[in-house]
């Protein structure tokens, strides 16, 4: 288990981490997600022992690491540029840490051979880094880290230098590798899809603060703030009012329990907003549906994107804002009248 408690870190007058705390279960895959400069990589370096915080502590498997150097923490970091030694072969790069640990040659050779097999690069054992593709370099960097059997594997945007096709392949490879080895893994990324695809939990960081630490589904559907919702993207915000434990707007009533619990000063009839993702609407032809919670709209823009089509619609009455809708149905056209409803279970009051 990895515990980060009240980490504060500044560079001069620049506060980078502000009392960051996280509990990460053993064997979990967690992503640190946020915009550039929010403190993600600095937190990774603090965990690895490459940066010393002004206050706070890091615990790995119950051991306080405050006075432990990086090499004794059992936390290994893989940087964005891989950091391979150009004058060493693939096998020598992978076994470098074992040489530093003064392991016997026979043990080194056995572990290197095993790791080459695991990473599916046995045929590249005697090649040099300049002879490798981007994906092969990444596998070598991962092998060099994993061969040390760390308690925690730290990945600093490892896929950002790869083209789109290879990035997808390597994401799946790393996900399967992590499951196979069972290493607690923390990934730094600003790519929302990447974080959601790979992680059991995601820590969303802004300005050195963990704003939300939750499952990908909850961060997508139940963001705690509008700032988080905007960062995740593709959301409509519909004005309404609070009535008891419900939020009321032209699309109907929605439970506002989360808001009531976290805002002690919420009053009856206070204004609020309903966040609805573009894909959380149902859109039907005006002749096919007419329920009490359906809003009649007119399509004024259509953008075909292949798998999905994005429509911009204007409610004919009851709402002043336009709504964007993502759907696989590309049969509607500009000027069509449609009825729009929020899908069951969707919508989140913020």
Residues 203, 324 within the same domain: no
Lowest mean pLDDT among 18-32, 112-126, 283-297: 283-297
Q: Is 115 exposed, middle or buried (0-12, 13-18, 19+ CB in 10 A)?
A: buried
- Give the mean pLDDT of 68-75: 89
Residues 283, 199 within the same domain: no
SS3 252: strand
Q: What is the mean pLDDT of the chain?
A: 89
- For position 80, what pLDDT does the model report? 82
Domain end point (choices 173, 198, 221): 221
Whole-number percent of the chain with pLDDT over 70: 95
Residues 205, 83 within the same domain: yes
- Helix then strand count (H, E) for the chain reads 10, 20
Residues 191, 260 within the same domain: no
User: Could you tell me how many residues make up the chain?
Assistant: 350
d(CA 206, CA 197): 21
Tell whether the model's pLDDT for residue 258 goes beyond 70: no
Residues 89, 190 within the same domain: yes
d(CA 153, CA 159): 15
- For position 310, what pLDDT does the model report? 95
227: in domain: no
- For position 210, what pLDDT does the model report? 95
CATH number at 297 reads 2.40.50.140
323: in domain: yes
Whose CA is closest to 325, among 261, 281, 259, 293?
A: 281
Tell whether the model's pLDDT for residue 264 goes beyond 50: no
Residues 266, 329 within the same domain: yes
Residues 60, 152 within the same domain: yes
Helices (H), 147-239: 164-181, 192-198, 216-221, 226-232
Helices (H), 20-66: 40-48
For residue 346, CA distances in Å to 220, 226, 253, 286, 301 come to 11, 16, 12, 22, 24
Domain end point (choices 221, 242, 275): 221
How many domains is the chain built from?
2
229: in domain: no
Dihedral, 160, 165, 170, 176 alpha carbons, nearest 10: 140
181: in domain: yes
Q: Quote the tokens at residue 19.
A: 């009392």
Residues 14, 35 within the same domain: yes
Lowest mean pLDDT among 12-26, 39-53, 151-165, 205-219: 151-165
Residues 212, 272 within the same domain: no
Residues 242, 207 within the same domain: no
286: in domain: yes
Residues 253, 200 within the same domain: no
320: in domain: yes
Whose CA is closest to 205, among 23, 5, 42?
A: 42
228: in domain: no
Domain end point (choices 164, 196, 221): 221
Q: Quote the tokens at residue 234.
A: 């593709």
CATH number at 118 reads 3.40.50.300
- Give the mean pLDDT of 218-238: 91
Residues 248, 134 within the same domain: no
pTM over 0.75: yes
Q: Domain range for residue 169?
A: 2-221
- Give the mean pLDDT of 226-234: 91
């Amino acid at each position: 288990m990895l515990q980060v408690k009240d980490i504060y870190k500044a560079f001069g007058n620049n506060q980078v981490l502000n009392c960051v705390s996280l509990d990460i279960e053993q064997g979990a895959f967690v992503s640190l997600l946020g915009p550039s400069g929010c403190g993600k990589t600095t937190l990774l370096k603090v965990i690895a022992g490459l940066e010393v915080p002004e206050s706070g502590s890091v615990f790995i498997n119950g051991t306080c690491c405050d006075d432990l150097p990086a090499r004794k923490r059992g936390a290994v970091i893989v940087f964005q540029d891989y950091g391979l030694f150009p004058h060493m072969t693939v096998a020598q790069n992978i076994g470098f840490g074992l040489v530093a640990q003064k392991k016997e040659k026979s043990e080194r050779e056995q572990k290197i051979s095993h790791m080459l097999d695991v990473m599916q690069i046995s045929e590249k054992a005697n090649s040099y880094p300049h002879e490798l593709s981007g994906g092969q370099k990444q596998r070598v960097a991962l092998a060099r880290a994993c061969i040390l059997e760390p308690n925690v594997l730290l990945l600093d945007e490892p896929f950002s230098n790869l083209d789109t096709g290879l990035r997808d392949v390597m994401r799946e490879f790393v996900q399967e590798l992590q499951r196979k080895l069972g290493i607690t893994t923390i990934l730094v990324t600003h790519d929302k899809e990447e974080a959601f695809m790979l992680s059991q939990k995601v820590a969303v960081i802004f300005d050195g603060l963990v704003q939300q630490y939750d499952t990908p589904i909850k961060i997508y559907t139940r963001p705690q703030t509008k700032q988080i919702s905007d960062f995740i993207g593709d959301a409509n915000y519909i004005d309404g009012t609070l009535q008891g434990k419900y939020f009321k707007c032209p699309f109907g009533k929605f439970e506002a329990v989360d808001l009531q619990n976290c805002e002690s000063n919420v009053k009856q009839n206070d204004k609020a907003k309903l966040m609805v993702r573009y894909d959380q609407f149902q859109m039907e032809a005006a002749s096919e549906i007419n329920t009490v919670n359906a809003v009649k709209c007119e399509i004024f823009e259509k953008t075909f994107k292949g798998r999905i089509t994005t429509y911009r619609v204007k409610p004919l009455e009851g709402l002043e804002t336009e709504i964007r809708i993502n759907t696989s149905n590309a049969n509607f056209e500009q000027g069509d009248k449609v009825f729009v409803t929020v899908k069951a279970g969707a919508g989140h009051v913020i």
